[in-house]
Structure 1
Amino acid sequence: MLVSPGLCYGKGLLPADSMVGEVSHNVTFTIVNPPSTPFRVVAWTTNGTNVITSGGSGADDIGTGYVGRITLNSTTGSLELRNLVLSDTGEYVVTILAVGQPKEGTATLRVYAPVSKMTITANNIDLVEFNSSVSLSCSSSGTSLSYRWLNGSSEFTASDGVQLDDGNSTLTIVRVTRYDQGPFWCIVSNPINSDNENGPENITLKVTPLDVLYGSGSDLTLSCSSESSPPAQFQWALNGELLSNQGPVLRLEKIQANQSGRYSCWAHNTRTLRYQTSEPSDITVLGGSVTLTCDASGSISNRDWRKDGQPLSPSERIIFSEDNKTVSISPLNLTDSGIFLCHLANLLSNENASYNLTPLLRCPGGVFGIIVMLKDPATFHLQCPC
């Protein structure tokens, strides 16, 4: 700092070299070591312009824009500045003329607008694993903003698969995977405050009435709820495929066999990377269908099917493909419950894959599920689309 000739910089005259203020709030420049003799003149300036000059023979000289916003303590020289605006940012200098040598102090004030009105938008929420990229943009009102992105409690940093652009306000994930589902947090801050938002959590689905088996013609009501800020929007899905139905309630009237499956609600808001799903609720209507698939890598010389230890034979309801790779059962009935086994063989090895089919029971994780078995030299799986 340059000191004017004849002035002595009063170290400790102002307690801090820099101060932080918030728009519409007040700050006080407190003189902590005022001269002990009466003041003749107290002058405050900022960026070279007059704020207030008090003393001498005339009335106080208050600078343009400060009338009604300042109060000067004529005893200590302290200055209160009210209703701060961004243009109040600057270097404030106080000069006190008293008996003896004049004193001067200086402090820098930085005024910030608070973080508010935060939003997150995604350029895509319909993503395919290993094939799609997504960009999340975080915006907020305020000044001197800094951005951080978190997935749960882990903070994102730039890497081969993650890009941070526009001052970290934009997060791009290249080639998303199933582990990129979030919830994602954007934390916006400046020296006076911070704000953050998160996506839907604790999503729950309820079915009324709750039963194991529903007969054709039954009426069902499914309801979905979640914890989210802002409130979530809901989309319904059957067997993982999104339905046109939206809203927290899905009503199924006079259901039929082709409406069997795993119902889930997907909750989202503009602050999530992608839809977050509830634990599915399986609804099985007597008369539905299922297809079992048995396949393997390498050559297969023989493929046989058994049920509960007995050879499985084709019928009007049980249809085999020409190569015995698939077995389709439609419509399902009580006698189809049991353990289905596929026997695979080639010249080097033979293996079995089994599946316990309970089409008339609703159980966690899905009625039909998927069983994958890895063996050498053959790799095969037995699965049901569900």
Structure 2
Amino acid sequence: RITNDRLIGPEESLIEGESSANISSEGTGSITSVQWMKDNSPLSPSNSIIFSSDNRSVSISPVQRSDSGEYQCTYRNPISSETAKLSLIINYGPEDVSIKGEDVVDLGVRVSLSCSANSEPAASFSWKINGTDTNVTTDTFIIDETDFTHSGDYICTAWNNVTKRSASQKHALLVKVGGGLSSGAIAGIVIGVLMAVSGICGLIVYLTKSKK
């Protein structure tokens, strides 16, 4: 019978586009076939995935985030089979940093800006306002009550402590005096202006004819 089947993989953290991963299999007994799977699907060779000549090990170089998952190696002979498993986590990012929130707000209101990024592991965040560091280290920046000093550029920086990479995004916020005109009031003003212009044009025509 086949016994002591196991997979040995890299112990260091794997970083997308930089690291290589070597997975080797071990087992005792009469082994007639070796089958590799990833996430319950057959693992096939490619430009980055290379099998050893005896099919006992796999090399992945360079690793990509799609290489994350559970690897399985099954040893078989006519009377038994054994499967060993190993999980790989590929670290990447941060990237695609985005800030969600309002662009223009009234004076004295509450504002919340939310920052996100694609990252493995999850990124940590920091914020700057007009180039000045803040003490906010969460993904959400909250202003309880806006004043004019809150207008400006908000920069969110995402940091991955495994890849040692960072990425930033900027969001412009304008604080204005509230109490803007309603759409009805604006329409009334436009109509009034048009009537005034029409009246002026009529007066000019009348004066011109009278002068003649």
TM-score range, shorter chain: 0.3 to 0.5
**Larger helix share, 1 or 2:** 2
- Highest relative contact order (Cα 8 Å, sep 6+), 1 or 2? 2
TM-score by length of 1: 0.28
Greater Rg by CA? 1
